[in-house]
Structures are given as structure tokens and as C-alpha cells.
């Protein structure tokens, strides 16, 4: 049975700024917007508020950006269990990283065993590893 990685869901305090980052810096396309009821949000995420969901797509990867003015979301904590980072694959990571730097996106560059490893953060502080794949 074929298995694929389909989507990532992100909660955002400033969704338009986050969406702008993913569309302008990483090349995602805004493909859908819908409302999610308070009932569903409570059942799925244990969050008692209706939310707006904006779907972004880059190739086969989908990002779901959730937001609600009713929620007071906390910032990321580096000392936590659970989601840590996700990998974003590009054809030529050196070229892609150079383009990000030209746009003013801060890039963390770490030298590994004969290669470099690159990380960036989105506007909510989510860590993204740029890899060639």
C-alpha cells in the first residue's frame, strides 16, 4: 500500500502574515478557505472556538493554517515534546537558500559531514529544514 505525507496543520496568531511568508518566500499557492465550527474544533483539537482554515499547496504538500480571534495562542517553547520541525524538499537547496537570503529570510547554516544543513523559521517560529530531494 502506497503511503504519502499529505499535510501539516498550523495554528496562527497572525494568519495573513504566515500565509504571506509561505506564498511569497516558499512558493505555496492559496487554494481554499473555509470555516470550521466550534463543535468540530472542540471534538478534533479540544479548542472551544470556531476557526478559519486556509489551505496552501506546494506540489503535493498542503499546509492548513487555522486561526480564530477567539483563541489566545501561546508562542512556541523550545523545551517541549511533540512537533519539532518539518522538512521542505527542493531541487537545488543551495540555489533555493541563496534566493531566500536575497529576500531577507534568515537562514541557519550548519556544516555537517561534508555538507551543509539549512534551517529557516516561519513568522510563528516554526522550524523548517530545507533539504534537497
Whether 42 shows a pLDDT value over 90: the answer reads yes
Fold classified for 7-67: 2,3-Dihydroxybiphenyl 1,2-Dioxygenase; domain 1 (3.10.180)
Contacts of 112 (CB under 8 A, 6+ apart): none
User: Looking at residues 12-36, what average pLDDT do you find?
Assistant: 96
Strands 85-90 and 108-111 turn out to be unpaired
Its pTM surpasses 0.95: no
> Which of the pair, 16 or 113, is modelled with greater confidence?
16
Contacts of 125 (CB under 8 A, 6+ apart): 75, 76
The answer to whether the beta carbons of residues 56 and 100 sit under 8 Å apart is: no
User: Looking at residues 54-79, what average pLDDT do you find?
Assistant: 87
Whether 108 shows a pLDDT value over 90: the answer reads yes
Residue 84 is predicted with a pLDDT of 82
Q: Nearest to residue 54, comparing CAs of 4, 85, 5, 9?
A: 9
Whether 75 shows a pLDDT value over 80: the answer reads no
Superfamily of domain 85-132: 2,3-Dihydroxybiphenyl 1,2-Dioxygenase, domain 1 (3.10.180.10)
User: Looking at residues 73-90, what average pLDDT do you find?
Assistant: 79
User: Looking at residues 39-54, what average pLDDT do you find?
Assistant: 94
Position 35 confidence tier, pLDDT thresholds 50, 70, 90 = very high
Residue 29 is predicted with a pLDDT of 98
Which residues of the chain form CATH 3.10.180.10? 7-67, 85-132
Residue 12 is predicted with a pLDDT of 92
Residue 83 is predicted with a pLDDT of 75
**Whole-angstrom distance, CA of residue 46 vs CA of residue 23:** 29
Strands 51-58 and 61-67 turn out to be antiparallel
Amino acid at each position: 500500500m502506497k503511503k504519502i505525507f499529505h499535510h501539516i496543520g498550523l495554528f496562527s496568531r497572525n494568519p495573513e502574515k504566515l500565509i504571506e511568508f509561505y506564498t511569497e518566500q516558499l512558493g505555496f499557492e492559496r487554494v481554499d478557505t473555509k470555516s470550521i465550527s466550534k463543535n468540530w474544533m472542540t471534538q478534533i483539537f479540544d479548542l472551544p472556538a470556531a476557526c478559519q482554515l486556509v489551505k496552501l499547496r506546494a506540489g503535493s504538500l498542503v499546509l492548513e493554517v487555522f486561526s480564530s480571534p477567539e483563541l489566545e495562542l501561546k508562542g512556541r517553547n523550545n523545551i517541549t515534546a511533540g512537533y519539532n520541525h518539518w522538512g521542505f524538499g527542493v531541487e537545488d537547496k543551495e540555489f533555493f537558500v541563496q534566493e531566500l537570503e536575497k529576500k531577507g529570510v534568515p537562514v541557519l547554516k550548519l556544516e555537517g559531514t561534508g555538507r551543509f544543513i539549512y534551517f529557516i523559521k516561519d513568522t510563528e517560529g516554526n522550524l523548517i529544514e530545507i533539504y534537497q530531494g
